[in-house]
């Protein structure tokens, strides 16, 4: 479909670019043109649809760089509990009863929430990658999955097969190597992960330094921090990164810089589980790229990038006792450009000709966006999901003016409720 979006304010997220008035032209799944108005004099296309943006903002979609979508079943299921009790006595027992078909349906539910939050791609780690890929494919959602192998589930053969298969499933789906965490994997298993990364010269992602107990346990086992230990095995020789990265030393951060790794911060989850505050300012000072994730809806419980963006900067300011720490524009970069690169999606980072047509429209005609002193900072400090009036992925509008265009949400809610009733009983 050829779509013309005109009369728009445009934030391309290209380095140094300012917001300007113009239009964006879409041809099938790609951006044909981004620029000043009156492009009709240059492009004589027949448009299947022309949308008057009425001065609202077009920008790249947000990238949720760490999540477990199937955990929608566990939203508000076991809140306000200590982490160990929450995980071992509430989460794991329920997950043991979930089928691949359950996770398919529950991932579809998560996709609806991502769309309302302006999220156009997710970095997913959960239990049944094949049904997850099907779910996001059917929803039209871009998804990069990462392996979550550990001592209790999954095999290296399965992860390699998924790496080969899911990277060729569809234009919307891809797969990266990964494992759950150092503390859930034996050294022998981690050595196999490293060998596979070297075989494919591929990046690896994992949960990393999320809690103090995790770091202390690794030091007791190996005499090193999780970051140093994993690096000693060569796991990150071809890049990758860690989710959470709360308890990182200067030496750990130096390794991340040397290896070109990403730190994916998950502020709401880390606060709710009392895990701590990630040293985002230290990452930035060391030129370590930071992306943002929501984590799963069991530990957040909201798949909302606006809340995450505000918390990233607010917590950094509190941690450093410096109100100038982590500028809002840096946070927007984390939520869009850096998330794209962490996920290996090099064509979804900015709005530019030739890039994939993954974008959102922000309603500026809302009280929380007025006056228009600084639109970009408004997004981080006062923006909310209510401002998302359009979410486009791969050139298709999937959410517009409060309506889902490609599915019946009530049918998805009903299926999720049936799963809850069955497993809850």
The answer as to CATH 3.20.20.140 being correct for domain 62-342 is yes
Q: What is the pLDDT of residue 67?
A: 98
CATH 3.20.20.140 region(s) of the chain?
62-342
Q: What is the pTM assigned to this prediction?
A: 0.98
Kindly report, residue by residue over 139-198, the tens digit of the pLDDT.
999 999 999 999 999 999 999 999 999 999 999 999 999 999 999 999 999 999 999 999
Query: At 33, is the secondary structure helix, strand, or coil?
Result: strand
Tell me, what DSSP letter sits at residue 223?
A: S
Q: Concatenate the DSSP letters of all residues of 239-270 into one string.
A: -EEEEE--S--HHHHHHHHHHT-EEEE-HHHH
Query: At 172, is the secondary structure helix, strand, or coil?
Result: coil
Give 9's strand partners. Answer: 21, 57
Kindly report, residue by residue over 309-350, the tens digit of the pLDDT.
999 999 999 999 999 999 999 999 999 999 999 999 999 999
Asked whether the bond before 371 is cis by omega within 30 degrees of 0, the reply is yes
Going by pLDDT thresholds of 50, 70 and 90, the confidence category of residue 83 is confident
Instruction: Supply 118's token pair.
Output: 């302006």
pLDDT greater than 90 at residue 82: no
Kindly report, residue by residue over 184-197, the tens digit of the pLDDT.
999 999 999 999 99
Q: What is the pLDDT of residue 364?
A: 98
Helix or strand run (H / E) with residue 31: strand 30-35
CATH 2.30.40.10 region(s) of the chain?
2-61+351-404
Q: What is the pLDDT of residue 43?
A: 72
- Measured CA to CA, the distance from residue 10 to residue 36 in angstroms comes to 10
Contact yes or no for 352/312 (Cβ under 8 A):
no
Q: Which CATH architecture has domain 2-61+351-404?
A: Roll (2.30)
């Amino acid at each position: 479909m050829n779509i013309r979006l005109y009369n728009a304010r445009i934030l391309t997220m290209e380095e140094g670019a300012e917001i300007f008035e113009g239009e964006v032209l879409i041809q099938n799944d790609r951006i044909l043109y981004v620029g000043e108005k009156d492009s009709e004099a240059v492009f004589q296309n027949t448009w299947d649809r022309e949308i008057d943006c009425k001065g609202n903002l077009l920008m790249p979609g947000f990238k949720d760089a760490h999540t477990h979508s199937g955990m929608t079943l566990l939203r508000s299921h076991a809140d306000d509990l200590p982490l160990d009790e929450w995980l071992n006595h509430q989460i794991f027992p329920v997950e043991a009863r979930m089928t691949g078909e359950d996770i398919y349906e529950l991932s579809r539910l998560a996709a609806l929430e991502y769309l309302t939050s302006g999220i156009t791609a997710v970095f997913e780690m959960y239990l049944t990658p094949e049904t997850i890929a099907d779910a996001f494919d059917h929803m039209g959602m871009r998804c990069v999955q990462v392996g979550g192998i550990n001592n209790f589930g999954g095999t290296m053969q399965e992860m390699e097969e998924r790496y080969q298969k899911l990277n060729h499933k569809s234009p919307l789906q891809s797969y990266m190597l990964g494992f759950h965490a150092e503390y859930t994997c034996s050294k022998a298993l981690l050595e196999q992960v490293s060998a596979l990364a070297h075989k494919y010269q591929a990046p690896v992602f994992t949960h990393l330094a999320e809690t103090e107990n995790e770091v202390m346990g690794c030091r007791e086992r190996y005499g090193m921090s999780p970051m140093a230990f994993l690096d000693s095995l060569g796991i990150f020789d071809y890049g990758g990164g860690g989710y959470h990265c709360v308890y990182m030393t200067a030496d750990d951060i130096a390794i991340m810089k040397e290896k070109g790794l990403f730190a994916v911060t998950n502020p709401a989850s880390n606060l709710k589980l009392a895990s701590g505050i990630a040293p985002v300012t230290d990452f930035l000072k060391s030129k370590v790229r930071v992306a943002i994730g929501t984590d799963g809806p069991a530990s957040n419980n909201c798949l909302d990038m606006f809340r995450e963006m505000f918390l990233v900067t607010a917590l950094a300011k509190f941690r450093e006792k410096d109100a100038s720490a982590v500028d809002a524009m840096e946070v927007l970069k984390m939520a869009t450009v850096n998330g794209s690169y962490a996920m290996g999606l090099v064509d979804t980072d900015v709005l530019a000709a030739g890039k994939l047509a993954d974008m959102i429209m922000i309603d500026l005609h809302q009280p929380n966006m007025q006056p228009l002193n600084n639109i970009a900072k408004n997004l981080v400090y006062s923006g909310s999901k209510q401002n998302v009036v359009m979410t486009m992925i791969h050139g298709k509008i999937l959410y517009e003016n409060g309506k889902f265009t490609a599915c019946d949400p009530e049918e998805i809610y009903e299926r999720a409720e049936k799963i809850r009733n069955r497993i809850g009983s």
